[in-house]
Amino acid sequence: VIYPPHSKLTDKEKTNICYLSFPDSNSGCHGDTQFCFRFRRSPGRKVSLCCFLDQLDRDLPVYLKKDSAYYYGYVYFRQVRDKSLKRGYFQKSLVLISKLPYVHLFRTMLKQIAPEYFEKSEAFLEAVCSDVDRWPPPVPGKVLQLPIMGVIMKLRIPTYRDKPGTTPIVQDMHQADAQISMALPTVHEVDLFRCFCPVFFHIQMLWELVLLGEPLVVMAPSPSESSETVLALVSCISPLKYCSDFRPYFTIHDSEFKEYTTRTQAPPSVILGVTNPFFAKTLQHWPHIIRIGDIKLPGEVPKQVKVKKLKNLKTLDSKPGVYTSYKPYLNKDEEIVKQLQKGVQQKRPTEAQSVILRRYFLELTESFIIPLERYVASLMPLQKSISPWKSPPQLRQFSQDDFMKTLEKAGPQLTSGLKGDWIGLYRHFLKSPNFDGWFRSRQKEMTRKLEALHLEALCNENLVFWSQKHTEVETVDLVLKLKNKLLQADREHLPVKTDTLKKLQTHINDIILALPDDLQDILLKTGT
C-alpha cells in the first residue's frame, strides 16, 4: 500500500524500495528493527515542490542540502512469530520516503507510528498523513513543532550560519494542554561513538579514506548497523559535504548492483553498507573493507584491532576490523584514543563520547580545509578592478603549485598539532570528487559575489548623466541591460542589499523618463 495514494513512483523505484525495505534473510532480525537506505530517483520524473524546497535549501549547511537525484527511505521492520499466518511469522515494514536527510527526525517519527500501524490498519496512515499536512514548512533556524498522533516533536533544523559543532538546544516547553511534547536534540546526527566503536583505533584512517572519496564497503550483520555506520562515515568530514554516492544499505537486487560490483573497471568512489554474505565474494577486489560485528556498547576498553590485509577477508564471518593496504598520510593521534578509552572506563554516557568524537573530527576537517579556503579567497579579483562599464572580472585559476607554496607559512600546522605528510594528503584530495564538489560551490559563491559587487558599482554611478551624453540607441541598450541585471539578481538570489536593487530601479525609471515619449512607452511596457 502507498500513502498518500496520489504519490507517483516509477516501477523501478517501487522495485528498489521493495527490496531495500527488508533485511537480508541471513540478518535474522527478530522483533523491531529500524534502518535507512538511499536510492536513485528515476530520470525524467517531474520535480514537484522544488522551487519551494530550493528556497529553504539555501539556508541549510552544505552537508544537509538535498540531492535531487536521490531519495531516502526510512524503515521500521517488524518480524515476530505468529502461528495464525501461513509462514508462521508476521513480517512487515513501514517505510517513509523523503528527499530530506533528517535521519533522527524520521526515525523518531516512525517509532511513534509504526507499532500502532501494525496493529491497526490503513485508516491509521490516513490519520498520520493529516497530522503531517499540518506541519509548518521545514524552515532552517526556527524551532518547529510537529504534531504526530498525540505527541508534539520539537526540533530545530540547522542553518549555514550556525557555528559548526554547536547545536542550539531546543527547550522542552511545558504544554498547557494535554499533549505530550518531546524535544529532539538533532534532526540528522547518528550516535557517532556507538558506530565507530568496533573500529575505534582506526577513526583517523577512516576519516582520511572518506575525505579522499576512496571506495569503502561496510560489511555488517544487520541493515541497522550497516546504515548507521555508513551515515557516521559520511558525517565524519562535516562541515565538508561528502560528494560521492553512498548507500547506507545495499542489496544484490539493487538497480546499481552490476555497475558497482563490476571487475572490468576500478571500484567507484562510493560507500556501501551491505549485510549479504555474497558481497564478501563480489567485493573482494575492493581496496578498503570495514567488517563490523554486532554493535554493542563496550563495558570494557575495546581491544586494539590491527589493520588486516585484504587477502585475509574471505567470508563474512571473518573477524571484525578494517581490511586495507592503505597507509595513512598523517601520524596517529594517540590523544583522542586515550580520551575515549578513559571515557569507557569511567562509564561516560555514549552521547558525551559522541560529542568528543564529533569535535575531534570537526577540528581535524577545519585544520585541513582552512588553508584551502584562504588560498581560494585570494583568487577573488580586487574590488577596484570592478568597473561598472565592463563585465565583472573573472576569478583567477586555481593553481596546485601556488596552493602548495602557501602551505609552508599558512598550512594546517597553524591549527593542528598532528604531524605527517599533509602535502601528500592535499595532493590526493585535489584529485577527489570531494574537492571538485567543494571547489565548484566556492566558485559559484564567489561569482555571485562578483555579480553583486558589479551591481553595486553600477548603482553608485550617475547613470542619468551618462545617458545624456550618449545616443538613444546606447541608452536603450543600457536600460535593457540594467533590467536584465535586476532579473538576474532576483533569479539567482545574489547577495545584494534590497536598497541597492531599489536604487537601481529608480535609476532605470529616471533614464526612461529622460527619453522621448515614444521610446518611454515601449520601454515601460517591456518587462524584460
For the whole model, what pTM was predicted?
A: 0.89
Q: What is the CA radius of gyration of the chain?
A: 27
Q: Note whether 40 and 81 are same-domain residues.
A: yes
Q: What is the pLDDT of residues 174-219, one digit of tens each?
A: 554 556 888 888 899 999 998 998 888 899 999 999 999 999 999 9
Nearest to 114 by CA among 9, 228, 24, 34: 34
Q: Can you read off the three cell numbers belonging to residue 43? A: 530520470
Q: Enter the C-alpha cell of residue 187.
A: 534532526
Q: Residue 369 has which C-alpha cell?
A: 580545509
490 & 426 share domain: no
- Judged by DSSP in three states, 127 sits in helix
Cβ 450 vs Cβ 392: under 8 Å: yes
Query: Residue ranges of the alpha helices (H) in 346-380?
Result: 350-377
144: part of which helix (H) or strand (E)? strand 143-148
Determine, yes or no, domain membership for 348: no
Residue 279 lies in a domain: no
Is 136 in the same domain as 34?
yes
Beta-bridge partners for 38:
72
Q: Are residues 428 and 466 in the same domain?
A: no
Residues 91 and 151 in one domain: yes
Say whether both 45 and 120 belong to one domain. Answer: yes
- Residue that is last in its domain, among 415, 432, 449: 432
Question: Number of C-alpha atoms within 13 angstroms, CB side, residue 460?
Answer: 9
Question: Do 80 and 154 fall within a single domain?
Answer: yes
Do 23 and 110 have their domain in common?
yes
Does a structural domain hold residue 105?
Answer: yes
How many domains, in total, are found in the chain? 3
Pairing of strands 288-291, 216-219: parallel
In a domain, residue 262? The reply is no
* 155 and 68 together in one domain: yes
pLDDT in tens, the chain (528 residues): 888 888 889 999 999 999 999 998 767 778 899 999 999 998 866 655 555 667 788 888 888 888 888 999 999 999 988 888 888 888 899 999 999 999 999 999 999 999 999 988 788 999 999 999 999 999 999 999 999 998 999 999 999 888 876 766 666 555 545 568 888 888 999 999 989 988 888 999 999 999 999 999 999 999 999 999 999 999 999 999 999 999 999 999 988 999 898 888 889 999 999 998 888 888 888 999 998 876 555 555 555 556 666 555 555 456 788 989 899 999 999 899 899 989 888 988 988 999 999 999 999 999 999 999 999 999 998 878 888 888 888 899 999 999 999 998 888 888 888 899 999 999 999 999 999 999 999 999 999 899 888 888 888 888 788 888 888 888 888 888 888 888 888 888 888 888 888 888 888 888 888 888 778 777 777 654
pLDDT, tens digit, 9 for 90 and up, residues 378-406:
999 887 888 888 888 889 999 999 999 99
Do 492 and 400 lie in a common domain?
Answer: no
Range of the domain at 139: 11-184
DSSP string, 254-270: STTHHHHH-SSSPPPSE
Assign 3-state DSSP to the chain and report helix, strand, coil percentages, each to 5: 45, 15, 40
Is 226 inside any structural domain? no
Domain end among 144, 161, 184: 184
Q: Are residues 418 and 466 in the same domain?
A: no
427 and 488 belong to one structural domain: no
Where among 156, 184, 212 does a domain terminate?
Answer: 184
The total of other beta-carbon atoms located within 10 Å of residue 56's CB is 17
Query: Residue 239's closest CA among 77, 107, 359?
Result: 359
